């Protein structure tokens, strides 16, 4: 069966520091992968999606970036975090045609 991993589970970072969140998927090949953010009291906002290695589409202009160095690995990064980057970050993979399955999430607090 397919499994999706995210780490770390929680993270507290100062403003201006870099960020790297990792997501890996097991049990499937060439999945579509997604990064979402849920800010406090808000819905899920799509940040990036990827249909293959090296293929990244950005949905929202921001100081975040994403990379997909391997088929089942999706990384969310920032060079300098802002206070507004705080939130709950979720990685998801897609099982066609439309259902997406989410990882456990990373709670990021920028101080």
Partner 1 sequence: DQQVKQNSPSLSVQEGRISILNCDYTNSMFDYFLWYKKYPAEGPTFLISISSIKDKNEDGRFTVFLNKSAKHLSLHIVPSQPGDSAVYFCAATERGYGNKLVFGAGTILRVKS
Residues of this chain that interact with partner 1 (CB under 8 A) are 4, 6, 32, 34, 36, 41-46, 49, 51, 57, 59, 88, 90, 92, 94, 96-105, 107
Shortest distance in whole angstroms from residue 85 CB to partner 1: 18
Q: How far, in Å, CA of 23 to CA of 93, rounded?
A: 10
CA 59 to chain centre: 12
Q: Which two tokens stand for residue 23?
A: 């997501």
Coil/strand/helix, residue 84: helix
Shortest distance in whole angstroms from residue 76 CB to partner 1: 14
- Which residue, 64 or 90, has its beta carbon nearer to partner 1? 90
- Sign, CA dihedral 96-100-102-108, equals positive
- Which residue, 75 or 90, has its beta carbon nearer to partner 1? 90
């Amino acid at each position: 069966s397919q499994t999706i991993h995210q780490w770390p589970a929680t993270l507290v970072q100062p403003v201006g520091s870099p960020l790297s969140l990792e997501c890996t998927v097991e049990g499937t090949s060439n999945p579509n992968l997604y990064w979402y953010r849920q800010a406090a009291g808000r819905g899920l906002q799509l940040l990036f999606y990827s249909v293959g290695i090296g293929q990244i589409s950005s949905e929202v202009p921001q100081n975040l970036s994403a990379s997909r160095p391997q088929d089942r690995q999706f990384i969310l990064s920032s060079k300098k975090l802002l206070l507004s980057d705080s939130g709950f970050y979720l990685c998801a993979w897609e099982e066609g045609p439309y259902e997406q399955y989410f990882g456990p999430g990373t709670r990021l607090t920028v101080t």
